[in-house]
């Protein structure tokens, strides 16, 4: 993808988190940047210094429709978001590169398991065979994932763009190995990760950002950076990103990502419920929900809101448990720690049902504990102005890491 020389001015970057209802954008500085910027390796070393943060709300329509009008509206939203963190008067701060993430209904990540059997199991694997096996596994994974996505959405394989497709773990006859070359065995098991999105969505956003004189350094799913950002090689837990329209589940065991999935349901669903029940506009309902989460409404009003949200909350919890049952195909035991983040996690109902709900049908050794994942839980973040203190800020911060 090319290597680019660093100039002193290129220590500043934008992190753009394009959600379903908002664009969240950070201006950050990297201390002690390397002499070269490798677009494949990305931002590897140094502390991340948060300089500014801004949230731009999007109009309440499908921003990823194909009309010229909506593309122009999205472009204007990007421009407002960038102006919120980049000031023309601060000429010494002139970022040229942006790291980008999309909402979970656009940017997909999937853990994929594949096995194969070798005929010559007693012979050690040589370099040529290892390359052939790896290429075969990656090709099969890409084909399978594309076919499944096509069946689910109707989108053809040729219209899917893979950002990342790599082997995370190799086991030979049940034993984990760091590479294929030099090992003998008959049964090979692979754990892979695939990150992909629709080409059209990618090209549209690329054109907008490049039209604003920025270059996309890389596109990343925040889930890929959880282990490195928290900095615990033995990390285990269920990480639940409650977004606008999608709730995303990442299961990590002993520092290894074992499962990534998601389901429809997030903060927007609760706003829609309030909008219908109280006769409010979508924006009014969203603002009302935020006030409710901050506990600034009267007790009587809070009780009424709690009653309205009880059914969608129970549905959300049932959908979450349904996804956990699917995990049992590959994981016998679920880690008993649940970390929640994302804008939707601030809703009291989410915290309450995770803490008090019925988990008995699921393979937990003990009742799971529930905890917010907060910005100060991440390593190498300098935020002296305390711009980012909420679990809502975690996805934006995660894309700043390699």
Domain of 160: which CATH number? 3.30.1490
Same domain, 92 and 117: no
Asked whether 300 and 142 are in contact (CB, 8 A), the reply is: no
In SS3 terms, 204-222 reads as HHHHHHHHCCCEEEEECCH
Residue 118 lies in a domain: yes
Tell me the average pLDDT across 256-274: 91
Which residues, 6+ apart, have CB-to-CB distance to 280 below 8 Å?
274, 288
Stated pTM of the model: 0.89
Domain count, the chain: 3
Task: List the one residue out of 30, 25, 26 whose CA is nearest residue 49.
Answer: 30
Residue 331 lies in a domain: yes
What is the token pair recorded at 238?
């269920």
Same domain, 136 and 222: no
Q: pLDDT digit string (tens) for 293-315?
A: 999 999 999 999 999 999 999 99
Q: pLDDT digit string (tens) for 317-360?
A: 999 999 999 887 778 899 999 999 999 999 999 999 999 999 98
Strand, coil or helix: 186: coil
Residue 389 lies in a domain: no
Same domain, 285 and 371: yes
Q: What is the pLDDT of residue 92?
A: 77
What is the token pair recorded at 387?
């711009």
Least confidently predicted of 3-7, 210-214, 317-321, 398-402: 3-7
Print the domain residue range for 183. Answer: 108-196
Same domain, 182 and 209: no
Distance of alpha carbon 274 from alpha carbon 268, whole angstroms: 10
In SS3 terms, 1-21 reads as CCEEECCHHHHEEEEEEECCC
Q: pLDDT digit string (tens) for 148-173?
A: 999 988 999 999 999 999 999 999 99
Same domain, 267 and 339: yes
Same domain, 239 and 222: no
Asked whether 118 and 188 are in contact (CB, 8 A), the reply is: yes
DSSP assigned state of 224: G
Which residues, 6+ apart, have CB-to-CB distance to 295 below 8 Å?
302, 348
Beta strands in 204-336 (DSSP E): 215-219, 237-242, 246-253, 256-264
Same domain, 366 and 329: yes
Indicate the pLDDT class of residue 244, thresholds 50, 70 and 90.
confident
Q: What is the pLDDT of residue 353?
A: 96
* Helix and strand counts by DSSP (H, E) for the chain: 9, 17
Asked whether 351 and 367 are in contact (CB, 8 A), the reply is: no
Q: What is the pLDDT of residue 4?
A: 38
Same domain, 289 and 217: no
Residue with the two structure tokens 């990540």: 109
| CA distances for 47 relative to 17, 50, 215, angstroms | 20, 10, 22
Q: What is the pLDDT of residue 7?
A: 43
Residue 400 lies in a domain: no
Q: Which of 196, 218, 251 is the last residue of a domain?
A: 196
Q: What is the pLDDT of residue 57?
A: 86
Q: pLDDT digit string (tens) for 67-118?
A: 555 778 888 999 999 999 998 777 678 888 999 999 888 999 999 899 999 9
CATH number for the domain that contains residue 332: 3.30.420.40
Indicate the pLDDT class of residue 66, thresholds 50, 70 and 90.
very low
User: Between helices 282-293 and 299-327, what is the axis angle to 10°?
Assistant: 90
Same domain, 222 and 238: no
Same domain, 188 and 204: no
Q: pLDDT digit string (tens) for 6-57?
A: 444 478 899 999 988 889 999 999 886 555 544 444 444 568 999 999 999 8
Residue 401 lies in a domain: no
Residue 95 lies in a domain: yes
Residue 86 lies in a domain: yes
Residue 402 lies in a domain: no
Q: What is the pLDDT of residue 34?
A: 52
Same domain, 237 and 222: no
Enclosing H/E stretch for 110:
strand 108-117
328 vs 202, residue with greater confidence: 202
Residue with the two structure tokens 């210094």: 49
Distance of alpha carbon 358 from alpha carbon 336, whole angstroms: 14
Same domain, 100 and 213: yes
Q: What is the pLDDT of residue 40?
A: 45
- Mean pLDDT, the chain, integer: 88
Q: What is the pLDDT of residue 9?
A: 47
């Amino acid at each position: 993808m090319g290597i680019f020389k660093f100039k002193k001015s290129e220590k500043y970057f934008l992190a753009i988190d394009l959600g379903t209802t908002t664009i969240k954008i950070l201006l950050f500085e990297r201390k002690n940047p390397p002499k070269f910027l490798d677009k494949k390796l990305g931002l590897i070393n140094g502390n991340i210094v948060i300089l500014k943060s801004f949230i731009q709300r999007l109009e309440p329509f499908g921003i990823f429709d194909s009309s010229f009008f909506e593309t122009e509206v999205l472009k204007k939203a990007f421009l407002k978001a960038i102006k919120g963190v980049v000031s023309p008067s601060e000429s010494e701060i002139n970022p040229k590169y942006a790291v980008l993430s999309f909402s979970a209904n656009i940017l997909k990540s999937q853990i994929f398991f594949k096995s194969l059997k070798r005929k010559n199991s007693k012979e050690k694997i040589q370099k040529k065979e290892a390359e052939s096996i790896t290429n075969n596994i990656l090709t099969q994974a890409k084909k399978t994932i594309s076919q499944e996505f096509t069946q689910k959405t109707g989108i053809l394989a040729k219209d899917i763009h893979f950002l990342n497709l790599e082997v995370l773990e190799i086991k030979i006859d049940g034993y984990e190995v760091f590479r294929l070359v030099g090992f003998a065995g008959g049964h090979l098991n692979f754990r892979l990760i695939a990150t992909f999105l629709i080409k059209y969505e990618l090209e549209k956003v690329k054109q907008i950002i490049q039209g604003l004189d920025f270059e996309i350094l890389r596109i990343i799913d925040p889930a890929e950076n959880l282990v490195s950002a928290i900095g615990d090689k033995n990390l285990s837990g269920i990480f639940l990103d409650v977004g606008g329209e999608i709730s995303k589940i990442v299961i990590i065991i002993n520092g290894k990502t074992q499962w990534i999935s998601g389901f429809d349901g997030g903060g927007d669903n609760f706003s829609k419920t309030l909008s219908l029940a109280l006769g409010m506009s979508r924006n009014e309902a969203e603002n009302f929900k935020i006030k409710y989460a901050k506990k600034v409404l009267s007790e009587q009003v809070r009780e009424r809101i709690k009653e309205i949200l009880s059914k969608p909350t129970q549905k959300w919890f049932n959908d979450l448990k349904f996804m956990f049952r699917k995990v049992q195909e590959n994981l016998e035991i679920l880690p008993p720690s649940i970390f929640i983040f994302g804008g939707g996690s601030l809703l009291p109902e989410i915290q309450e049902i995770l803490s008090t709900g019925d988990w008995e049908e699921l393979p937990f050794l003990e009742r799971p504990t529930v905890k917010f994942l907060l910005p100060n839980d991440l390593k190498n973040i300098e935020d002296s102005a305390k711009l980012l203190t909420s679990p809502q800020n975690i996805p934006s911060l995660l894309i700043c890491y390699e």
